[in-house]
Amino acid sequence: MTTLIEDWADQAACKDSPPDELFVRGAEQHRVKQICSGCPVRTECLAEALDNQMEWGVWGGMTERERRALLRRRPNVQSWRRLLDAAQDQHRLDTGVAGHDIAV
Ligand code: SF4
């Protein structure tokens, strides 16, 4: 079963935020992460960033530094979208809850 949303950008919590507010550097990224914490498409956004090795900005509630560390820890992942989708399905089966925040 696929739970991740294909056309997720329209549901992004940041969709009306100016790009200058989102693509900040350093400690400012932690402020941006607060926007992500309530985003309904956080997992989709994170998968997009990881699969495309987006270098800059906050995506899916992770800073560029956090994403780089994750990619280094899991160098053999071929599709983050598939992995996160499967994790979300498993989370739903385990808890009976449709969750969107999957720990990676
Ligand atoms: S997770 Fe954050 S960066 Fe990604 S769409 Fe949601 S608010 Fe925007």
Instruction: Give me the residue spans of the domains in the chain.
Output: 11-95
- Which tokens sit at 76? 């053999």
Rounded to the nearest angstrom, the distance between the alpha carbon of 32 and the centre of ligand 1 is: 9
Binding site membership of 13 for ligand 1 (Cβ less than 6 Å): yes
CB-based contact 41:102 (threshold 8 Å):
no
23-63 pLDDT, tens digit per residue, is 898 889 989 999 999 999 999 999 999 999 999 999 999 99
CA dist., res. 82 & res. 32, Å (int): 26
User: Considering the entire predicted model, what is its pTM?
Assistant: 0.87
Q: What percent of the chain has pLDDT over 90?
A: 65
Indicate if ligand 1 lies below 6 Å from the C-beta of 58.
Answer: yes
61 CB near ligand 1 (under 6 Å): yes
Answer yes or no: is the C-beta of 48 below 6 A from any ligand 1 atom.
no
- With a CB cutoff of 8 Å and minimum separation 6, the contacts of 83 are 77, 104
**With 60 as the cut, is the pLDDT of residue 88 above it?**
yes
Output 95-103 pairs: Cβ under 8 A, ≥24 positions apart: 98/3, 100/40, 100/41, 100/42, 100/43, 101/42, 101/43, 101/61, 102/43
Write down the pLDDT at residue 26.
Answer: 87
Residue identifier of the C-alpha nearest atom 5 of ligand 1: 12
